[in-house]
Structure 1
Amino acid sequence: MTKSILSTPPFTLQSSLLPSINFKEWMLERALQLQPDVFAKLLMILHGVWRNRNSTLWQNKTQTAQDLVLSCFTWLEEFHTVHASNNASKQMQQKVWKPAAQGRLTLNVDAAFLPNQHHGGIGGVLRDCQGRFIAAYARPIPYTASPKQCEMLAIREGLDLLQSLQQQNVLIQSDCSEAVAEIQCDDHSLLENGGLIDDIKQVWHQLEGIQLMHTPRSCNGVAHRLAAIGFELEHASVWLHHAPEFLRDVLHYDCNRLN
């Protein structure tokens, strides 16, 4: 039975090699030559052959080759389903907002933009290493061409806030990976938002210890709320030292998940 299963593609165990085959070397070749998903099927089949042998010896019950292969593939599919579910659960648990290291501040920024409209909103929140509120801003953007441009404007506004508060050693987090990558690009002169990136870097270089990084959207809830508020505002707003009422629930939510 084993020979009939393993001699077919993609395992291709040659009958002429039996019984003198070095099984360890053959397995090593299969590990190098087969795709990972196919090699996983091979391992599962070998496990099934071993279980079938024991069942035959001790219980006098034997599976056909077809039943053995089908049951092995079913086990493998169930394993992948459970494993994928566990990984997704772990990833969801890991994707929570965390403040920067001791002695640093964290500035989360975000933008709100609707494709069928030409205006947007931006917002940002500044917190210390224990998650305590320091400042926040929200403002409308009357004219904007794209979500990425809006995100860059949110970063620029955040840098202006840091400069006005004379804050340095700050980690800036945005959930727009494209905006973060283009701002950090050495040669941005030919990019669509090259002029805006020039403005951002000009302010950035006037501050000390500023770092910009991408963060998942699930870690950017407070800034997302502020951007939505900014979308509806008529004028820019800034809050210092005391968080506005509409922001306290999401701030508490982030802090509670730190414990």
Structure 2
Amino acid sequence: MFAFDVNGQNPCQKDKLPGKRDICEGKSQGQTHSQKHSSQTGATPLAEKRGAEPLLSNQCVCYPTTPGSAAKANFQCDLWSIWKHRNNKVWNNITDTTQDICAHASSLLTSWRNAQNIRHPSPQNPSIPNDLKWIKPSSDRFTCNVDASFSQARNRVGIGVCIRDEEGRFVLAKTEWMTPLLDVDLGEALGLLSTMHWVRDLQLGIVDFEIDSKTVVDSLYGRKSGVSNFSAVINDCRRLLASDLVTSDVRFIRRQANEVAHSFARVALRHASFHIHIRIPSCISTIILNEMQ
């Protein structure tokens, strides 16, 4: 194992020259420890000038010394997350917890691996992976797919919504847009919130929501809360799920599995106002028929 003391404390309690790195053998489980000081206080000169607190909590993160590619990837992503936290602390005065730093690293690695799976599909399995296909809802449930599109030329965010039953048959669809143009995460979150209000008023039954924004879904079921506009929208979604939509679920799906809502969201940008469709729109009819099979 390789242990990196993120607070600058020497776990081996050995003397060292200032500004140098120690490597020594752990006593109990054969661990190796590494540490780097820039001064006796353990803070960078820039942090000392700013009077900043230690950048990271007094915790030790351990990494295996196995030369496998997975271990190297984990280590590199964790170092990147620590460096990003350091910059946020010094330049923006934003402090993340150790759990947040590790979560950022894990999310980065997962996103990168997912991207590689799309770009380099396995040649041994020519069939389409399940997470790239839309899956019909279970018995007595509906699925509502939601997506947002963004247009700088029109200064709008388009929202596309499509509800289907357990057989994959079209039930209802809706398009709307909002202005001005928003950032992606906030636009996706507002699209979900608007759709949840609409579905609640329809009273169709048990409706599950699917969206291809992992940031929105992770924030919705996470424990973090903030004071930004995005956090306020997420909190409104949480309240709806806890009160009027207690039997509903919000799931993350890949863009390829959310093609109906994605195509519909682009169409929404061209509409003069919002539309509710009780018949299958021609722009998504082929996709729906193919996904019914």
Q: Normalised by the shorter chain, which TM-score bucket?
A: 0.5 to 0.7
Q: Distance in 2 between matches of 1:130 and 1:238?
A: 21
With over 3 angstroms needed to count, the CA separation of the structure-2 counterparts of 1:83 and 1:139, relative to structure 1, is closer
* Residues 111, 120 of structure 1: 8 Å contact kept: yes
* Residues 143, 209 of structure 2: 8 Å contact kept: yes
- The match for 2:257 is 219
Q: Which runs of 4+ in 1 moved over 3 A?
A: 32-37, 89-94, 114-118
- Code of the residue aligned with 1:209 in structure 2: it is T
**DSSP 3-state at the match of 2:246:** coil
Q: Distance in 2 between matches of 1:239 and 1:83?
A: 36
Q: Distance in 1 between matches of 2:203 and 2:143?
A: 14
Identity %: 20
Q: Distance in 1 between matches of 2:121 and 2:258?
A: 28
Shift of 1:186: 2.7
* Residues 210, 251 of structure 2: 8 Å contact kept: yes
Q: Distance in 1 between matches of 2:177 and 2:65?
A: 57
- The match for 1:234 is 272
Q: Distance in 2 between matches of 1:33 and 1:191?
A: 40
Shift of 1:192: 4.8
> Greater relative contact order: 1 or 2 (C-alpha under 8 angstroms, separation 6 or more)?
1
* Correspondence for 1:207 among 245, 250, 257: 245
- The match for 2:141 is 104
Residue 183 of structure 1 pairs with residue 224 of structure 2 = no
> More helix per residue: 1 or 2?
1
Question: Which protein is bigger by CA-based radius of gyration?
Answer: 1
Q: Distance in 1 between matches of 2:134 and 2:155?
A: 30
Q: Distance in 1 between matches of 2:219 and 2:190?
A: 13
The two structures have a TM-score, normalised by structure 1, of 0.62
* Residues 140, 232 of structure 1: 8 Å contact kept: no
RMSD after superposition: 2.6
With over 3 angstroms needed to count, the CA separation of the structure-2 counterparts of 1:109 and 1:94, relative to structure 1, is closer
- Code of the residue aligned with 1:246 in structure 2: it is C
With over 3 angstroms needed to count, the CA separation of the structure-2 counterparts of 1:174 and 1:93, relative to structure 1, is closer
> More strand per residue: 1 or 2?
2
Deviation per CA, 1:180-207, whole angstroms, max 9, x where unpaired? Answer: 1112223323455122123223333212
1:60-209 matches, within 5 Å, as 84-87=122-125, 89-92=126-129, 95-114=132-151, 118-204=155-241, 205-209=243-247
Q: Distance in 2 between matches of 1:103 and 1:93?
A: 22
Deviation per CA, 1:103-138, whole angstroms, max 9, x where unpaired? Answer: 111111001014676421011101111101111111
Q: Distance in 1 between matches of 2:134 and 2:121?
A: 25
- The match for 1:59 is none
Q: Distance in 1 between matches of 2:225 and 2:167?
A: 35
Gaps of 5+ in 1: 1-31, 38-81
Q: Distance in 2 between matches of 1:162 and 1:187?
A: 26
Shift of 1:145: 2.1
* Residues 162, 168 of structure 1: 8 Å contact kept: no
The two structures have a TM-score, normalised by structure 2, of 0.55
Count of residue pairs brought into register by the alignment: 179
**DSSP 3-state at the match of 1:232:** coil
**DSSP 3-state at the match of 1:254:** helix
- Code of the residue aligned with 1:211 in structure 2: it is D
Shift of 1:247: 2.3
* Residues 157, 181 of structure 2: 8 Å contact kept: yes
